[in-house]
Copies of this chain bind each other. A is one copy, B any other.
Amino acid sequence: MEKLNVGIIGLGAIGQKHCQALAQIEKANIAALADVNESTLLKTVKTYGGNAYEDYKDLLMQPDLDAVVVATPDEMHTEPCVAAAEAGKHILVEKPIATTVEDAMAVIAAAKKAKVKLMVGFSLRFNLHYLQAKKMVDDGKLGDVISIFARRLNIKTQADRINGRCGVLMFLGIHDFDALRWIVGSEPVSIYCEESTSVTKKYPQENETFSIIRFENGVRACAHIGWNLPLQHLGGRDFKLDIMGSKGALYLDQMRQGIEIYSETFSKYPSVSSGLYIEDKAFVDCVLDDLPSPSTGEDGLVALRMVIAAIESIKTCKPVTL
């Protein structure tokens, strides 16, 4: 059986999860790991194997390497992506593809030129719940889509973890902006966004927002994006997608997925979904079987444009045309 040799660049929280996922994929082989932090690097190599590199540029020179997962901090996606493309490696880059439109376009152009696969890590496209919702819509079970309400709320510690590196729209909202476009199947034409200002912010960026998005086909979507859930929230997350169609309504709710635990030491609504396994497997299959990328650089670019437009709308108090 043919196997894909994959290198992971950036071994922070999400990089670790990609290691975990790839280790379970039989057609994937973790062949190389790179991180600037030596101790993280060595610990990860110990667990998952592969060659260790402190500099990703050295990793890209490993001859048997087929593909890379770029999981560096958001604003550091562009360089390794462009370099990976130039080295002929297929690329799975974490969302956002980049933090500016120019950078995103550079990544797309480099991948196109090098004829390597480019996939953006929009994990909702590979999530069991969202996949079912997408299928129901595509199968016409709800008739024509009229409106969608999306929500992605996280607990406060998430904001602390990001620590002002970006706002909640870039970190969480981009998931829903992409998922909405993916499910609606039409391009966004404008976005209006407001940010709550009732409570003093800890970080300069927006942290609780409502956006209304107009799609070319007339669908209106609304996204409620924030990270103000209290620590005692049993889900630690409130992710929803409610679709109203001309013939039906679909409710997706990942706050509760069928298990609840109440205990003396902790209480929780655990998630039963499968993490990055399906996403990373889709990447591996896309490369090995030469399939189209299931979430392209262009998808990444549109979602990024939506985030930037929403932030502009907050400032201008007007809908922003995309």
Contacts and interface: CB of A to CB of B under 8 A. Distances in A.
Given A147-B226, A212-B192, A250 B259 contact: yes
A260 B265 contact: no
Give the interface centre of A146, A218, A272 by most chain B CB atoms within 10 Å.
Answer: A272
B267 A260 contact: no
A230 B263 contact: yes
A172 interface: no
A245 B261 CA distance: 11
A258 B259 contact: no
A192 B215 CA distance: 17
Contact of A251 (B199, B210, B260): B260
- The size class of the interface chain A forms with chain B is 35 or more
Nearest to A221: B210
A192 B195 CA distance: 13
Contacts of A195: 220
A169 to B, nearest CB: 14
A222 to B, nearest CB: 4
Contacts of A164: none
Interface string A243-264: 0111111111110111111111
Contacts of A147: 196, 208, 210, 224, 226, 228
19 contacts: A1-B3, A129-B259, A132-B272, A145-B198, A147-B224, A194-B212, A194-B214, A210-B220, A210-B222, A222-B222, A228-B246, A230-B267, A233-B267, A245-B263, A249-B261, A249-B262, A252-B258, A257-B272, A272-B272
